[in-house]
A and B are shown apart, each in its own frame.
Chain A
């Protein structure tokens, strides 16, 4: 039917770049499973896949109560020894029977959630990309004074919310937990060169055979949240998730560089102070820009269309040029002063 995913991207909590051998240890999340490391064109390490069992409502734009049961697939990666990502996704398919089956049935289908009952793919994908965590947070903080009959009440002997009373599937929490797991490793010194929030990218992928021609839509919602809807040729493969991870990585790099430039150059005259604020970008980020380096050939047209509009690389390049210009100008000023010209 469709695939939903959420990628969290952040700066690895370490003062310097982490070696490939350390990445292996950081990402060894499953005994007996090797961490895959590729070194070209940039060091990229990926953890083995982990599964999380879920039995809950699926997001739905029409607020329909749609039950899904299955496993969410999550993996973590570290790029350039510097950027950590937690990526979860789940393929939504129709169940053959309308009741929950023994758990072994779902474990034979890793990364698949079966929908019990009726559901429209469009309703689910709209629900997932429209019901954004920011909105939900504000709703929860409103505070509840009267007991909600739909909520479980231990005094009534209720056992958990049941699937229909539960909050919808929360892929972000799963991705976030895995990023936390890597970030809390004693192998990291927790002295990151700058502070920057994580970004979250929610994505929905549908096959062109069901939803028309290949297309991609990338939306920025706020400083941290992005959504991506894409229609791809052929069947879903993990390469689609890799494309989303690559986009999330580059969106994070661009967002971070923008923040650093903004912090350095807004207000006050540019000078040595501004340059000092720009240095971490030069030291830790500039070499990481490698768009579509690991993206499957069949999916590169989707990346390329985003390069035409809005043009990620164009914006990145202009920021890089600005940083380099600032540094050169500052250096020149220093030389002039020193030389007494």
Chain B
């Protein structure tokens, strides 16, 4: 008798992970608060004028690395419609596009900040807390609900322990400090009644993960860009979460991201990096992305936060 190899498979026992189309880099062409929009188109024009040379530099770096016009560089712009609602897409979007065009910038994708709130729960569940020295698994991680930090919080002076002695104040400590601590404690969300408001850094962390194409919901991509509508709607909710402006735009998500931002966003981005350092992305998704990039001869940084870069200008 010849030996026989039997194969048996069950679809529900195997996981299927959708692949996101990927560019080489996703460039964010600045960011503004609502009050900046209220200040009128001049402020927008000024911002794009500052951003343009840096966006050009990133593009040419990738064009050098991937010669023959094969570099895939997509650009995006995020509008804050989550924390405050101002104007309408019909008024605001054409103003943004015109101001960008004046600095020879093409926006490939326009996203709404409230779009990042939808998959925020997926990211929250994937947080794996940075353990303080001594954490051996015997107790669940100490959590301040709705907060995330990179070390141990300071103890309050004067607090009395169960056994009676008053506690001395102890400073907070960063877990991976080099000599001295830079302790960061980030508020992830707050709640009024049943309504949860995600914090700006948390949504910005989701935004980075969407741009890196690393989020999945049941194996599927949580958001896909949709082509621009015939006419811009008068209500933000009527606008799709991520709008693709050009028919032939390179893919929205990318191996790496670059954000050109005003230095006033520096604290937010420090918080974003604190959050992203504690997000465990699905290992299969990471492998998928690593496999694709290696197929193109590009070696990606292992750590998520190293795939994200900035120009603060």
Contacts and interface: CB of A to CB of B under 8 A. Distances in A.
A277 B8 CA distance: 39
Contacts of A71: 128, 280
Contact of A103 (B141, B150, B152): B150
B217 A32 contact: yes
Given A51-B128, A162-B133, A100 B168 contact: no
B230 to A, nearest CB: 33
A140 to B, nearest CB: 11
A32 B169 contact: no
B121 A55 contact: no
A163 interface: yes
Nearest to B131: A53
A101 B176 CA distance: 6
A52 B13 contact: no
A53 B173 CA distance: 17
Interface in A244-283: none
A101 B305 CA distance: 13
Interface string A119-144: 00000000000000000000000000
B165 interface: yes
A166 B141 contact: no
B10 A40 contact: yes
A69 B137 CA distance: 12
Q: Looking at chain B, what size class is its interface with the partner chain?
A: 35 or more
Interface stretch (B20-28, B189-197, B271-279): B271-279
B216 A32 contact: yes
Contact of B133 (A107, A156, A166, A173): A166
B176 A38 contact: no
A32 B280 CA distance: 13
A55 B167 contact: no
A80 to B, nearest CB: 15
Contact of B161 (A72, A101, A155, A161): A155
Interface in B102-143: 119, 121-122, 124-126, 128-141
A102 B131 contact: no
Contact of B136 (A33, A39, A170): A170
A31 B219 CA distance: 11
Contacts of A108: 302-304
Given A32-B218, A154-B155, A54 B175 contact: no
A307 B59 CA distance: 63
Contacts of A56: 133-137
A37 B176 contact: no
Contacts of A158: 170
A177 interface: yes
Contacts of A167: 136, 138
Contacts of A88: 137
A108 B301 CA distance: 10
B170 A157 contact: yes
B9 to A, nearest CB: 9
Contact of A169 (B137, B155, B277): B137
A105 interface: yes
B176 A156 contact: no
Interface in A22-58: 30-34, 36-40, 49, 51-57
Nearest to A169: B136
A158 B132 CA distance: 13
A55 B169 contact: no
Interface string B153-179: 001000001000111111001011000
A104 B136 contact: no
Nearest to B173: A159
Contacts of B121: 31-32
B133, B155, B175, B280: most-surrounded residue (chain A CB, <10 A): B133
B237 interface: no
Nearest to A297: B5
Contact of B134 (A110, A163, A171): A163
Contacts of B39: none
A56, A162, A177: most-surrounded residue (chain B CB, <10 A): A56
B133 to A, nearest CB: 4
B170 A161 contact: no
A39 to B, nearest CB: 6
A86 interface: no
B282 interface: yes
Contacts of B141: 52-53
A157 B169 contact: yes
Nearest to B5: A297
B69 interface: no
Contacts of B139: 173
Interface string A286-322: 0000000000000000000000000000000000000
B176 A100 contact: yes
Given A104-B304, A159-B155, A159-B173, A34 B128 contact: no
Contact of B137 (A34, A36, A173): A173
B161 A32 contact: no
A102 B218 CA distance: 30
Contacts of A163: 133-134
A10 interface: no
A107, A156, A171: most-surrounded residue (chain B CB, <10 A): A107
Given A39-B10, A157-B169, A34 B131 contact: no
Interface string B5-37: 000101011110000000000000000000000
Given A37-B12, A37-B13, A105-B303, A54 B131 contact: yes
Given A32-B119, A158-B170, 9 more contacts: A32-B125, A37-B12, A102-B277, A107-B128, A155-B167, A156-B168, A159-B152, A159-B155, A170-B137
11 contacts: A32-B125, A72-B137, A103-B175, A103-B277, A154-B165, A154-B168, A155-B161, A157-B170, A162-B134, A167-B136, A171-B137
> Which 4 residue pairs across A and B have the least CB separation, nearest first?
A56-B136, A53-B131, A38-B13, A166-B134
